[in-house]
Structure 1
Amino acid sequence: MSNPKVQIQRLPHGEGIDLPFYATTHAAGADLRAAVDDDVIIQPGETALIKTGFAMALPDNFEAQVRPRSGLALKFGITVLNTPGTIDADYRGEVGVILINHGKEPFTVSRGDRIAQMIIAPFVQANFEAVSELSETQRGSGGFGSSGRK
């Protein structure tokens, strides 16, 4: 599979902020940075929409998934609220990240902080078909732990 080309448009308030980048050779997620003018303090239990300072054009049949950074989650209880957040290929607005503070202390987001990671992934659109019955399986309609813990 070849690497898809993603066009990035830096927005005026994103000047000086690194565009998405892969921190290591084998990183799956590209780091996203905060393009805030002033510090944003997220109180415990609160959410904040953090702008990234860029918009992008994904190729057809690709999406961008915005995911949490594990270090922020472990150390501070900071995560992406609707994870993974999906950015569709036809969206051309600024990329924003919804952060939530599940920690016990206020968390400060400063300009240039790495706040999330973005995965570029292919997808397919299904053809949905209404039927009167579904095929039988061993599991059937069991869910929510019905297959056990071990």
Structure 2
Amino acid sequence: MTRGFAIVERFSEADLTLPTRATKSAAGYDLAAATDFTLPSIWHLNFIKILVTIWQQKHLTDEAISSGQAVLKPYLVPTGIKAYMNRDEVLILANRSSNPLKRSLVLPNGVGVIDADYVDNPKNEGEIFVQMMNFGLKDVHIKKGERIAQGIFMPYLLTDNDDIDIKDERTGGFGSSGK
């Protein structure tokens, strides 16, 4: 098998561009948003009220905790792209260096990991979504085609006794490889 990108079926008519590297020495392929998308500022989502309660050392109710967790939940920005690769490779998703500096956008998981068996899974055809949060003071509008992350193909190593464990086949989409 080789490695590369393809457009998922649900975006087949959306005039998307496959990821490319911007320069000859760039390690990452630029991933873009498949649609216009607004990332709300965490400060607009009742976050201040929760912070004040914590700062005042008041007891947080279960409802306040749930509300706070909902505010801090990342958004999934669709790319409309899937990646195929050899079984001993992974696609690492990393933030663009300009996102936090210029736009206050971060990948809350630090890096994303796209496994080789994620492609063409029955849940979402292997579409890559980029987890993002906006810690800035205003909402950020991402336009269709705007670069939001970069993907780096890498080989990975296995332990000597890895073949002892029985491995399951992937049955789900995003976040489904856990047991």
TM-score by length of 2: 0.64
**Cα pair 2:6 2:18 within 8 Å, conserved:** no
Partner of 1:13: 11
Gaps of 5+ in 1: 130-150
Give the Å deviation of 1:77: 1.1
Distance in 2 of aligned mates of 1:30 and 1:22? 5
Aligned to 1:87: 114
Segments of 5+ residues of structure 2 without an aligned counterpart are: 43-71, 120-125, 163-179
Cα distance, 1:128 vs structure 2: 6.1
Structure richer in strand, relative to its length: 1
Deviations 1:64-102 (A, max 9, x none): 000101111101110112121100111111111011112
CA distance in 1, matches of 2:135, 2:90: 27
Q: Which has the higher helix share?
A: 2
1:71 is matched with 98
Mapping 1:34-113, distance limit 5 Å? 34-36=33-35, 39-45=36-42, 47-92=74-119, 93-113=126-146
Distance in 2 of aligned mates of 1:91 and 1:42: 26
Give the partner amino acid of 2:11: H
Supply the distance in 2 between the matched residues of 1:128 and 1:82 (Cα, whole angstroms).
28
Question: Which of 1 and 2 has higher RCO (CA within 8 Å, sep 6+)?
Answer: 2
Give percent identity, aligned residues only: 31
Report runs of 4+ in structure 1 exceeding 2 Å deviation.
Answer: none
Root-mean-square deviation (CA, aligned residues, Å) is: 1.9
